[in-house]
Structure 1
Amino acid sequence: MWKHGIHAFLELLRHRLPASLEHMLTFIYLAYSMMALLYETVPAFEATWMECLGDLGRYRMAIEDDDVRDREVWTAVSRRWYSKASDVVPGTGRLYHHLAILARPNVLQQLYFYSKALSAPEPFFAALESIMTLFDPLLGSNNQQSPHGLLFTGKTGSEYQTAVAEFVNNLDNHISRTTRRWMECGYFIAISNCCALLLWGKNSFIYQTIRPKRLKESVEEFNTREILDPSDQRNAKRLEEARHLAEGTFSKVFPRFADPNILPFLHSTLVFYRFMISYPSAMDLLEATFPWKMVSMLLNSLLPSCREYERIQSSDFPRPVKQLPRPLPEDFALRGLLWAEKYYPSDWFSNDKIDDDEKYFEVASMTDERKERVLWLGVSIAQHGKWLLYDDKLHHFSVPSRFEQEIDINMNFDTELMASTPEADTLSRASTLALSSPGDKAMSEAEKDDEDMPDIDDFMTRQPIIRQ
Structure 2
Amino acid sequence: MSFLRQPDAFRWHDCGVPLAVANISAMLGHGSDTNPLRIAFDFANQRINERTRLSASAPNHVATPSSVRSGPPEAKYEETRRLLQVSKRITLDSFHTAVRCRPGIVFIQDSLAFMGVMLCFIHFVCQAKRETQNDQELNMSLCLVFGPDEIAWADVAGYLNHLVRLRPVTDRLVQCAKQGIWLKKAGEGKPLPEDFSIRGLVWAYFAFCPGWFDTDEDKDWLRNVEMASTHTARADRALYYGLRLAFETPYLSFDSTSCTFSTDPVLAPSNTTQTLQPLRTNTADLPAQRAVPGPNAQLSPPSSAPASSASDGDYVHVPRPTKQAQTAPAPKTWATVVKTGSTPMKAARLTKPKLGTDNMRVVDP
TM-score normalised over the length of structure 2: 0.58
* Whole-Å separation in 2 of the counterparts to 1:385 and 1:209: 18
In structure 2, what residue type is equivalent to 1:400? D
Alignment of 1:163-178 (within 5 A): 164=1, 166=2, 168-169=4-5, 171-175=7-11
Deviations 1:400-420 (A, max 9, x none): 3489xxxxxxxxxxxxx97x6
- Written as runs of structure 1 = structure 2, the 5 A alignment for 1:218-367 is 227-228=70-71, 233-254=78-99, 255-258=101-104, 259=107, 260-280=109-129, 281=139, 282-283=142-143, 285-304=146-165, 305-306=167-168, 308-314=170-176, 315-320=179-184, 324-367=188-231
Matches of 1:226 and 1:452, distance apart in 2: 60
How many angstroms does 1:167 deviate by? 5.1
Q: What residue number does 2:23 align with?
A: 193
Change (3 A) 1:345 1:450: same
The answer on whether the counterparts of 1:187 and 1:264 sit within 8 Å (CA) in structure 2 is yes
**Hey, what's the Cα distance between the residues in 1 that align with 2:169 and 2:6?**
36
**2:98–2:111 contact (8 Å) kept in structure 1:** yes
Q: How big is the shift at 1:170?
A: 5.1
- Taking structure 1 as the reference length, the TM-score comes to 0.46
Taking the aligned partners of 1:370 and 1:274, their CA distance within structure 2 comes to 16
For residues 8-38 of structure 1, the C-alpha deviation after alignment (integer angstroms, 9 at most, x for no partner) is xxxxxxxxxxxxxxxxxxxxxxxxxxxxxxx
Contact 1:301 1:431 in 2 (8 A): no
State the Cα distance separating 1:327 from its structure 2 match.
Answer: 0.9
Structure 1 residues 347, 425: CA separation in 2 closer, same or farther (over 3 Å shift)? closer
Deviations 1:287-329 (A, max 9, x none): 2432321111111112131252332342244434797321111
Deviation, structure 1 residue 429 = 3.4
The change in CA–CA distance for 1:278 and 1:421 in structure 2 (over 3 A counts) is closer
Residues 308 and 236 of structure 1: is their aligned pair in 2 closer, same or farther, counting only changes over 3 Å? Answer: same
Report the alpha carbon displacement of residue 362 of structure 1 after superposing the two structures with TM. Answer: 1.4
More helix by share: 1
Q: How far off is 1:337 after superposition?
A: 0.8
Task: Note if 1:380 corresponds to 2:244.
Answer: yes
Structure 1 position 430, deviation (Å): 4.8
> Which string of whole-angstrom CA distances, capped at 9 and with x for unpartnered residues, describes residues 141-163 of structure 1?
xxxxxxxxxxxxxxxxxxxxxxx
1:211 match: 42
Which stretch shows the higher mean deviation, 311-320 or 187-196? 311-320
Paired residue type of 2:97: K
Instruction: Provide the C-alpha distance between the structure 1 equivalents of 2:41 and 2:298, rounded to a whole number of angstroms.
Output: 43
- Tell me, yes or no, if the aligned pair for 2:250 and 2:264 is still in contact at 8 Å: yes
Alignment of 1:44-55 (within 5 A): none
- The one-letter amino acid paired with 1:306 is P
Q: Gaps (5+ residues) in structure 1?
A: 1-163, 176-181, 218-223, 404-416, 433-445, 454-468
C-alpha change, 1:290 and 1:307, in structure 2 (3 Å) is closer
Quickly say closer, same or farther: Cα 1:199–1:237, change in 2 above 3 A.
same
Shift of 1:451: 3.9
Change beyond 3 A, Cα 1:320–1:235: same
Displacement of 1:368 after TM fit? 0.8
Instruction: Give the C-alpha shift of residue 424 in structure 1.
Output: 6.4
- Counterpart Cα distance in 1 of 2:230 and 2:41: 31
Please report the RMSD computed on the Cα atoms of aligned residues, expressed in angstroms.
Answer: 3.5
> How much has 1:376 moved relative to structure 2?
0.9
Aligned mates of 2:69, 2:317 — CA distance in 1: 51
Corresponding residue SS for 2:224:
coil
- 8 Å CA contact 1:270, 1:374 repeated in 2: yes
Instruction: Write the distance in 2 (CA, Å) between the matches of 1:322 and 1:192.
Output: 31
Letter in 2 for 1:342: F
Matched residue count = 247
Contact 1:318 1:373 in 2 (8 A): no
Structure 1: distance between partners of 2:158 and 2:223: 31
Aligned residue identity for 2:203: W
Question: How big is the shift at 1:345?
Answer: 1.0
Aligned to 1:429: 309
- Deviation track 1:153-187 (CA, whole Å, cap 9, x = no partner) reads xxxxxxxxxxx4x3533554232xxxxxx424211
Residue 340 of structure 1: how far off its partner (Å) = 0.9
Q: How far apart, CA to CA, are the structure 2 residues paired with 1:346 and 1:322?
A: 9
**2: CA distance between counterparts of 1:361 and 1:299?**
26
Structure 2 CA distance for partners of 1:279 and 1:428, relative to 1, 3 Å: farther
Query: Using the alignment, how far apart are the partners of 2:3 and 2:310 within structure 1?
Result: 29
Question: Taking structure 1 as reference, are residues 333 and 428 closer, same or farther at Cα in structure 2, changes over 3 Å only?
Answer: farther
